Structure 1
């Protein structure tokens, strides 16, 4: 297992293109799964988008039931519990393609398969799994996840819901209130987090729900939301709700751990759930731009529109590249643990936990890209984009929640750097050695020789290596200055996080495209090459800006001058790409194909 990539190591260890998983590597089985999911979504979800916008909760439930009948709810569930037992990449692929038509169904699906089913699959006893998971995998039952409380949002462990053991020791009584509970209106089972006595950490419970025998459970009215309008979202109130002791999930006080590990998986799945939305939005935008005539020509011929199409296509391509790279790494780690004799539960948990940094990176990057894609889609449609008669308006509203749930993007930004530093302290990622080398390089004489960049991506890969040095310089100096108090400097952490995010995303695009070129040749991948180069160019600008913001916040005088000089050196191109030409290459292909075509 030592040869398998560890989470966060991308920053200090070169990744070879042949060692990453890309969407071009889907197996025949995965392609069949993708196509069957797309058929279901086109027929059932996309064709009935208006029903979701009219808050047809019953239709959402109907679609979920059919998804269960088709096996989509059980892709990640082991076969012995009624699922398909497919690997992590396949679960990502299903989540990706089932989520593109509407955020309402995407949220219902994600809440059920992720935080509604997965905690039992990964933390449940054998009896709990046999009893509940087959019903959840088939869609006979639906699950929900009751963590958030009115006073405990991001601070999940501060919840006030209480669980009190009965005098005979056979059951707990749960009292409290939960809010923003997805699927509450049609669920049969709730994963509920409550505190026993004055425990430091909350505890998880499996709570059955039957409206005809409420057991002290009452639901608030459906929330009226900006988007995801047909996703059932209610408050849930527990009043002396009796739960058998055997329905405790995991051990006492393990609820916070269950909640956090569930969020790790939820974050990368959320990134996947934002991918097909972008593909569909780009296709809709291009269709409209090719049909809409102004000044006697389709607006797709205008440079301003072509730029938007190129940039949104690039973001979608890079998001795919990074999401499936991480999914492949997680699957490799899970398989290695299984080969070593780990149980399915332990292998899955540790496999995802290993790449928690990448999960947070992806959650932030792709959720912001889908919002940008919907926003530019509205702009391409012009006044029509603001109308409910076109798909852009609802897509823009649906996209907005993705920056909030599974941990806000602000929290995820701070987590990326915080988790990386913890990994370094545990010796899982050697940050100190490379950071010290960067410091020595800053003190040394710069190399003014002109390197040979004749091979494809040779300059881009050299530049990514320098961008990593820029991050190590900023983050390493910040840790030296503030030590354990670094988490008090949130704006600095967020600047460093943006540097880290752009490095991972840009490198993923370069590696995917390099692997693609080796298989089909440069001539057949010129648009993908253009997208990889365009994204990197824009990432360099962000890294320079955020690096400067970080440096001037804690360094002064000579130290500041030296670090700013280093930052300029680490973000300098030898040969600047022609950005407008790159955009033209991308836009020409997408517009000619009249769809997102990569």
Structure 2
């Protein structure tokens, strides 16, 4: 497998190796970036957290007021160019601030809907007049934005929307009729990004203002969690929208919807990371305060296992997130240098890494779900009480596996996008897949002993990639044009890819950290990288075994199963002691310290 010293293309991690020196790690954030993150965290701690109960009860104007305050602090303006009232910061800075508000329960939902899917369609697809009219007010918090895509009959199948737009007889206004549902920020937004079918079949975006005649709202939805966010239906009844408020081109609304979702997915991963860290901090403190059998429960092995595993999954998710965020930034700079306009550059970069964004969304949301579930368990009976913090955290977390495309959709998209890249010639997956099938028929090559850090672990990563290519190559050969119907196999492959990308990102982060600070300073981070790697290896074995059993029988199955076993074989590692060491440091410092 080739090692390169430049940014990979999206999805190329499967067939090429990356040098640790070429990835960005969170430890490299500079003082200015950390100051922005601290400002966001302090805002959540001092302004949002004291109001959580009142927010959940939908006290009139409360969330809207917080959004205005956040805008005045500059938290909405980070990614925008200066000419629209922004600070023009790089992509990882915007991810870091999104992470920093992520522990604010319902607030980051409103925040992300506004700064991501609300503002960005105008930034990237709007005319200059539209940008000048809307973006400064959205950046300052004077106005708030909402995104209207989902309808009662179209969730994951967004292009099946039935909302219609017809040009009036004077040729000046489009008349919109339809119904949108689950619209975040609807209760107080001044600007709505609405998708409708022009003339019944041309999926198109529109900028609709709250005061346009014919726009009305349903009541606030009663939700399982994120109760403090405004979620309403939006009704369009002969809603008159000026022709100049068409967003992008008629019939090209799918370009807006899908490109913005690429950015939305990675930003959701950032928000779930912030929420996960907050929950773990609360859990660690509780284990030191709560005693059973006359000793703090933090001394029990079962509790330390939970804390160590929670920290490991958070650290791994964080490693993958900022690796991808930096790759998107580098690709954006490359496209700008090639003469691409601003909007095309970031959208092109996000599209390039759409595979990684989908994987991050799945991993981040499922890490948070794991963390809050274990948080409830650590609190025991108190965890089930609404008077203690895990109740709200548990309920609020659940939506993230549905937001921005369900995790099932994102898993299938991961494989679908990889295969489409291969079919277009952008990614050569089939040559390595064929080579791996040939390798199975030969005697294993034990090779010469390599030297350097993490030699054995990097071999494990290479073999994990071989296992993916073995399963994916077999699936393509077996099912060909009907592969999209084999959703279980697609999800097996996606799980293997997610675990591999995250494990590799974590290992590279720790390698870079050791090179910067020495092995002793990164000892617990090394523990987390290895715990995650060995857990991932077990997961890849199970997913691979399940996939090949569903595709082959007899001798063919035996050969494929031998391959899965060969590529998931490793020397044993004591994950129990590693988790204990990770937990012990957090318990001693009474917080998540990594």
TM-score normalised by length of structure 1: 0.97
The within-5 A match list for 1:126-275 is: 126-199=128-201, 201-210=202-211, 215-275=213-273
SS of residue paired to 2:260 = helix
Partner of 2:505: 508
Structure 1 position 455, deviation (Å): 4.3
Q: 1:53, 1:394 within 8 Å by CA — same for their partners in 2?
A: no
Q: Is the 8 A contact 2:165 2:200 kept in 1?
A: no
CA contact (8 A) 1:57 1:232 kept: no
Q: Equivalent residue for 2:119?
A: 117
- Tell me which residue corresponds to 2:578: 582
Distance in 2, Cα, partners of 1:279 & 1:146: 31
Q: Distance in 2 between matches of 1:371 and 1:343?
A: 39
Question: What does residue 378 of structure 2 align with?
Answer: 380
**How many angstroms apart in 2 are the aligned matches of 1:587 and 1:3?**
36
Cα distance in 2 between the residues matched to 1:76 and 1:57: 30
Shift of 1:57: 5.2
Show the counterpart of 1:360: 358
Structure 1 segments of 4+ aligned residues over 6 angstroms from their partners:
none
2:528 is equivalent to residue 525 of structure 1: no
Partner of 2:461: 464
Q: Deviations over 1:350-392 (max 9, x none)?
A: 0100000000000001100101101100110111111122111
Task: For residue 49 of structure 1, report the CA deviation from its aligned partner.
Answer: 2.5
SS in 1 for 2:193: strand
The Cα shift of 1:275 comes to 0.8
2:391 maps to 393
Give TM-score scaled by structure 2 length.
Answer: 0.98
Q: Is the 8 A contact 1:322 1:362 kept in 2?
A: yes
Could you tell me how far apart the structure 1 residues matched to 2:34 and 2:108 are? 20
Residue 85 of structure 2 is aligned to residue 89 of structure 1: no
Q: Is the 8 A contact 2:67 2:111 kept in 1?
A: yes
Displacement, 1:2? 11
Partner of 2:573, secondary structure, is coil
Is the aligned partner of 1:321 residue 2:313?
A: no
Q: Which residue of 1 aligns with 2:432?
A: 434
Q: Cα distance, 1:56 vs. partner?
A: 3.0
Residues in 2 aligned to 1:434 and 1:448: alpha-carbon distance in whole angstroms: 19
After the TM superposition, which of the residue ranges 344-353 and 380-389 deviates more from structure 2?
Answer: 380-389
Residues 129 and 352 from structure 1, CA distance in 2 versus in 1: closer, same or farther, beyond 3 angstroms? same
Alignment match of 1:333 (pick from 314, 331, 334) = 331
Q: Which moved more, 1:422-431 or 1:300-309?
A: 422-431
- Residue 62 of structure 1 deviates from its aligned partner by 1.1
Per-residue Cα deviation, 1:475-527 (whole angstroms, up to 9, x for no partner):
01111111121101101101111001100111111010110010111111111
1:225 alignment partner, SS class = coil
RMSD: 1.4
Match of 1:98 among 101, 111, 126: 101
1:409 has 2:407 as partner: yes
* Residue pair 2:5, 2:18 contacting (<8 A) in 1 also: no
Other structure's SS at 1:29 match: helix
1:1-29 per-position Cα deviation (integer Å, ceiling 9, x unaligned): 99432100111011111101110111222
Higher mean C-alpha deviation, range 399-408 or range 27-36: 27-36
Q: Which residue of structure 1 aligns with residue 73 of structure 2?
A: 70
Q: Is the 8 A contact 1:364 1:413 kept in 2?
A: yes
Alpha-carbon distance in structure 1 between the residues aligned to 2:108 and 2:345: 27
Query: Secondary structure at 1:239's aligned position in 2?
Result: strand
Q: Deviations over 1:152-179 (max 9, x none)?
A: 1110000100000011211100000000
CA 594–563 in structure 1, closer or farther in 2 if over 3 Å, else same: same
Distance 2:261 2:469 in 1: 27
Are 2:591 and 1:595 aligned?
A: yes
Cα separation, 2, equivalents of 1:292 and 1:10: 44
1:245-281 residue CA offsets vs partner (Å, 9 max, x unmatched): 1100000011112111111100000000001111111
In 2, Cα distance between the equivalents of 1:358 and 1:459? 25
Taking the aligned partners of 2:582 and 2:336, their CA distance within structure 1 comes to 42
Task: State the number of aligned residues.
Answer: 591
Whether the 8 Å CA contact 2:5–2:22 is kept in 1: the answer is no
Q: Distance in 1 between matches of 2:478 and 2:509?
A: 37
Match of 1:276 in 2: 274
| Correspondent of 1:43 among 37, 43, 46 | 46
Given that 2:164 and 2:200 are in contact with CA atoms closer than 8 Å, whether structure 1 keeps it comes out as no
Equivalent of 1:571 in 565, 568, 572: 568
TM-superposed CA distance for 1:448, in Å, is 5.3
| Residues 187, 230 of structure 2: 8 Å contact kept | yes
Return the alpha-carbon distance in structure 2 between the equivalents of residues 5 and 543 of structure 1: 23
Matches of 2:230 and 2:160 in 1, distance apart?
A: 25
Preserved CA contact (<8 Å) 1:57 1:231 = no
Structure 1 gaps of 5+ residues are none
Q: Does 2:31 align with 1:25?
A: no
Q: Note the alpha carbon deviations across 1:211-242, whole angstroms, 9 max, x for none.
A: xxx51111100001000001000001111100
Give a deviation string over 1:272-301, Cα, whole Å, max 9, x none: 000111111111001010010110100000
Tell me the SS of whatever aligns to 2:76. helix
Counterpart for residue 562 of structure 1: 559
Question: What is the Cα deviation at residue 340 of structure 1?
Answer: 1.4
SS in 2 for 1:164: strand
Q: Is the 8 A contact 2:52 2:228 kept in 1?
A: no
- Residue 58 of structure 1 and its aligned partner are, at CA, apart by 2.2
Equivalent of 1:494, from 484, 491, 497?
491
Q: CA deviation at 1:579?
A: 1.1
